[in-house]
Structure 1
């Protein structure tokens, strides 16, 4: 069945963005995602809506498909700092999803995802505006998570590169 979606007004974007934040806080990421798509239907490069969409998609991490969908949004986000920072968010949330999912290889898999996040946060730190310590705070969170959880460790039998697949553009995508 196909429905023609109804467009929102440009004047309604600020209130729609407030609803996105509210739905994310209420752990309703699919509702937040839908609202972001409504905003992007009328302003395709709206950076705040793109960032919120990426975050709503990372809130839903439980499969490789969701990682790919978040990375598709990342490609539309402007700015070197923002690109590195939000790629770090993708890796960090993937690592957390793997920790919560459990399983035999979840510790090493989470470790490599968190290290990928830390690498991106280090790139973001170099590009951050003066006084913006967000990337440092996220890097420290990843480091503490690894240090406080002995199950999160590298797999000595697996090379780090083996934990990743590459997409068509050559970017690393975590195996699911």
Structure 2
């Protein structure tokens, strides 16, 4: 059997469906739709963003194996340097939040959130006028660090 191609004129409509599947917590269906878009428009920036978000939605699911390389390679395909930093921040943040579910991983979550904060700081400087998204994400990461009492990982030598 062979996959059917969507009509290129339907991309906006199918991406609306992908966004809806994300909001229904069905990222795998959103990913499938994005792959269909890539088949007819490989560099569609809106599809890349939905795809990145749907992939990172799955980072909090323990039963799903996600290729971090696939996420970073997709982020690299974004045309805008601002978006590359912003969505790398989202990836790092979501990966770190997934680690918070395991108490032994809290120091790694701290490191991931701090890396995300760094990306958001860069994105904030490049953000279009009136775009507060990097600021909101930065503040959310900082509040999570404070709320969870996260601290940097102690070096082995410091334990003794």
TM-score, structure 1 normalization = 0.83
Equivalent residue in structure 2 for 1:22, among 20, 23, 39? 20
Q: Which residue of 2 aligns with 1:6?
A: 4
Instruction: Verify the 8 A CA contact 1:81 1:127 in the aligned structure 2.
Output: yes
1:145 paired with 2:136, answer: no
Unmatched 5+ stretches in structure 1: 159-176
Unmatched 5+ stretches in structure 2: none
Q: Which residue of 2 aligns with 1:52?
A: 50
Q: Which residue of 2 aligns with 1:135?
A: 134
**Aligned CA-pair RMSD:** 1.4
Instruction: Verify the 8 A CA contact 2:58 2:66 in the aligned structure 1.
Output: no
Q: Which residue of 2 aligns with 1:167?
A: none
Quote the offset at 1:55 in angstroms.
0.5
Q: Give the alignment of 1:1-150 within 5 angstroms.
A: 3-61=1-59, 62=62, 65-100=66-101, 102-104=102-104, 106-150=105-149
Q: Which residue of 2 aligns with 1:154?
A: 152
Quote the offset at 1:15 in angstroms.
1.3
For 1:91 and 1:45, locate their aligned partners in 2 and report how far apart those are by CA, in whole Å.
Answer: 23
Instruction: Verify the 8 A CA contact 1:50 1:77 in the aligned structure 2.
Output: yes
Instruction: Verify the 8 A CA contact 1:58 1:66 in the aligned structure 2.
Output: no
Quote the offset at 1:11 in angstroms.
1.8
TM-score, structure 2 normalization = 0.91
For 2:155 and 2:65, locate their aligned partners in 1 and report how far apart those are by CA, in whole Å.
Answer: 23
Q: Number of residues paired by the alignment?
A: 153
For 1:110 and 1:33, locate their aligned partners in 2 and report how far apart those are by CA, in whole Å.
Answer: 26
Instruction: Verify the 8 A CA contact 2:55 2:66 in the aligned structure 1.
Output: no
Quote the offset at 1:66 in angstroms.
2.7
**Structure 1 or 2: more helix by fraction:** 2
Quote the offset at 1:65 in angstroms.
4.1
For 1:64 and 1:22, locate their aligned partners in 2 and report how far apart those are by CA, in whole Å.
Answer: 23
| 1:123-145 Cα distance to aligned partner (Å, 9 max, x none) | 10111111111101100000000
